[in-house]
Structure 1
Amino acid sequence: MGDLERAVANAAALWTALAESREQEHVRTDSYLVVEGGRRGRRVMVLSPSPSAADVDELKAQATRPSAGGVTFEDAYGAVDLSGLGLVKRQLAVMIRQPSPLPELPTPVVKIALTDDPKDLPTIERIAVDAFPLETFQPYGQGEAFPRALFERDEINYFVATREDVPVGITMTVEAGGSAGIYWVTTLPEHRSLGIGRALMHVVLEHHDDRPATLTAATAARPLYESLGFETLTMSSWWSGAPS
């Protein structure tokens, strides 16, 4: 399995786990994953660099079929051209870091802990929904974005940053597809620019030091990840459609 395939497989594992824990209808084939989220939106992922003509037709149908919550269509391979279908396109970097020593971390202002305590789940979920933000899960409702069933899955790990005993940041990792996928590196707005995201990343990478780490990064976050040794594999096409 190549590096890009590892990253795509990991992201597919995350969205499959989310669909199962949220009890959302979903279909997964060798070429695509479709998750029906209702008012939370439909998620479509391309899982193959060369889907068949029939699969491309199905993917285009899923991208344009009405959805109460809109559509997010993720294509790291650039395999499906959705131009002219009324969708908005943006590009995000798919990045990977091979196991290697980390640069020295300045003295952190927070404590970072891996948690398996269910009592921490509402705090983790609330920070992700409000600070990332997860707009389709606003206003916040406990257990809607990260149900208890997701917390109990072996492949999912949660990390919490606390400052003066107050939770101020979180991230989630997924162990699947031969890599550790990193998702929702998030700090509360009033605690940003203090190095909390970097501290979270250090602990996560140290915890998963036996395998490649993968993530998808917005432009503003790329300098942080590059300073930690991540390299860009490709610019993934993300198409979005408004609720209908």
Structure 2
Amino acid sequence: MRQVADESTVLLRGQVTLGLVPGAAAAAHEFDLPAIPAGFHEEHPQAEIALTEDASERMLTAMNRGDLDLAVIGLADEEPPPGVSVQVLVDDSPVAAVARTTTPSPPPDRTSIPLAELRDRPLISLPRGTGISSLAPSRAAGGPVGSQVAQSARTELACVRGELRTTVGAMTTRSTSADRPTSVPLTEAPLRQARNSAALWIATGRSRGHEVIRRRGFVAVDGGERAGLRILIQESDLDPGELAELSELARRAAGPVNAEDPFSSTDLGHLGMRSWQMPVMLRLPGPVGEPALDVFRVRRPEDLQAAEQIVIEGFELDGFTPYRPGELFPAALIEQPGVEVYVASHDGVPAGACVSVVDDGIGSHYWVGTSSAFRSRGVGRAVMLGSLAHLADLPLTLTASKLGRPLYESLGYTVAAPSTWWGPPLP
């Protein structure tokens, strides 16, 4: 774990966030957990260390999303999840404690029991989302173990002790959350949009090999001279240190600087940037109509390049000209969990494209563009409908341009709040 933390400091620019599975301290006889962050801080006094406790599944999601850098988790499977680098700290067997009054009672000299024999017994287990909670259903023959869960324990010292493996993992991808809110109030839409936009740009930055900087109040992705610096405001109350750091990043940027502030609360005028406003919009779960054109999810390199060229043309991204295949949309982008690219075709010719992102149970759309040769033919509506089909049961947010707003309103989106965007001054 110390080795993983040391390697991570090169990338994290002074901040490491560590997650712990509930009860991790109970394994202190196996490894000195408190000494690790203490020693790390002694060696790197300028680095910030944040600690949090959660279930393994939720921490994996947080690591994928970029909110955690390292986590001590429990894994019941032999193989780690995709995109996870794992170092095993504790490898232990689960122990089932059975009262002697249990009917039928196991023989007093018995030291083991097949999981299948626990299938019909009420169990006390760790909370859902921890490693051992997924062990019983996945291993028992003939049906899930413990279909009657009598109680959820908060530590390993309850009736079931020890997750199979306590591990520390470092992840470079992000994933969607299994927790899906069915409703989001309009007042919460700016925060949800801020988080989703950050998830998109973290995934984009990593897939391009760009530097990703995360702070409490903002995320920044530095793409150099052509892609520029993208700043995503994450909180409405940036502290003076965050604003100073953000300003210094903008001053040192080799390329154009663009910032999104869904809260319209951070003034960047001192950087000589111009500002404009676009609405954050919210769509609650509901049915979606059929697109009038063929819309498909991009899986092949040639289709990804077609989408890339449509977006570069439609959004007039001069920084990406002359065109370099894979610069805007690298092949690795569509391999990021939760990120999907869609293309609408007109008579077999790619005509429109968009990107959808699902993060923490919320969906959003980006880069909704139409080729100039197919404008005013319903391509934008078609690509939106096609990409909305798999998101119909989720709350959705997006930031709408003036031209796009009527389309989104016709698809069930409602204006929630103004978002302030900052960019280079006009020539």
The one-letter amino acid paired with 2:307 is I
The structural deviation recorded for 1:184 is: 1.0
Matched-pair contact (CA < 8 Å) for 1:130–1:138: no
Q: Pick closer, same or farther for the CA change 1:162–1:231 going to 2, 3 Å.
A: same
Return 5+ residue gaps in structure 1 as ranges: none
Is 1:149 matched with 2:332? Answer: yes
Is 1:232 matched with 2:419? Answer: no
1:198-220 CA-to-partner distances (Å, cap 9, x unmatched) read 11111222221121122111111
- What is the CA–CA distance in structure 1 between the aligned matches of 2:364 and 2:286, rounded to whole Å? 16
Structure 2 residue aligned with 1:79, among 258, 265, 284? 265
The structural deviation recorded for 1:242 is: 5.5
Is 1:98 matched with 2:284? Answer: yes
Structure 2 residue aligned with 1:61, among 248, 251, 269? 248
Which shifted more, 114-123 or 154-163?
114-123
- What is the CA–CA distance in structure 2 between the aligned matches of 1:206 and 1:19, rounded to whole Å? 27
Tell me the secondary structure at the aligned position of residue 73 of structure 1: strand
The one-letter amino acid paired with 2:256 is G
1:133-166 CA-to-partner distances (Å, cap 9, x unmatched) read 3232122100111111112112111111111111
Partner of 1:52: 239
1:42-94 CA-to-partner distances (Å, cap 9, x unmatched) read 1111101222222222233334x143322112111122122343211111111
Percent of paired sites with the same residue: 37
Q: CA RMSD in A?
A: 1.9
Matched-pair contact (CA < 8 Å) for 1:205–1:213: no
Which shifted more, 116-125 or 169-178?
116-125
Scaled by the length of structure 2, the TM-score of the pair is: 0.53
Partner of 1:128: 311
- What is the CA–CA distance in structure 2 between the aligned matches of 1:203 and 1:93, rounded to whole Å? 23
Matched-pair contact (CA < 8 Å) for 2:308–2:328: yes
Greater relative contact order (Cα < 8 A, sep 6+): 1
Structure 2 residue aligned with 1:41, among 228, 237, 240? 228
The one-letter amino acid paired with 1:11 is S
Tell me the secondary structure at the aligned position of residue 204 of structure 2: helix
Matched-pair contact (CA < 8 Å) for 2:215–2:242: no
- What is the CA–CA distance in structure 1 between the aligned matches of 2:306 and 2:417, rounded to whole Å? 33
Which shifted more, 130-139 or 215-224?
130-139
- What is the CA–CA distance in structure 2 between the aligned matches of 1:115 and 1:140, rounded to whole Å? 19
The one-letter amino acid paired with 1:9 is R
The structural deviation recorded for 1:226 is: 0.8
The structural deviation recorded for 1:241 is: 2.6
- What is the CA–CA distance in structure 2 between the aligned matches of 1:112 and 1:159, rounded to whole Å? 7
Tell me the secondary structure at the aligned position of residue 79 of structure 1: coil
- What is the CA–CA distance in structure 2 between the aligned matches of 1:218 and 1:15, rounded to whole Å? 19
Return 5+ residue gaps in structure 2 as ranges: 1-183
- What is the CA–CA distance in structure 1 between the aligned matches of 2:323 and 2:420, rounded to whole Å? 28
Whichever of the two has the greater Rg, that structure is 2
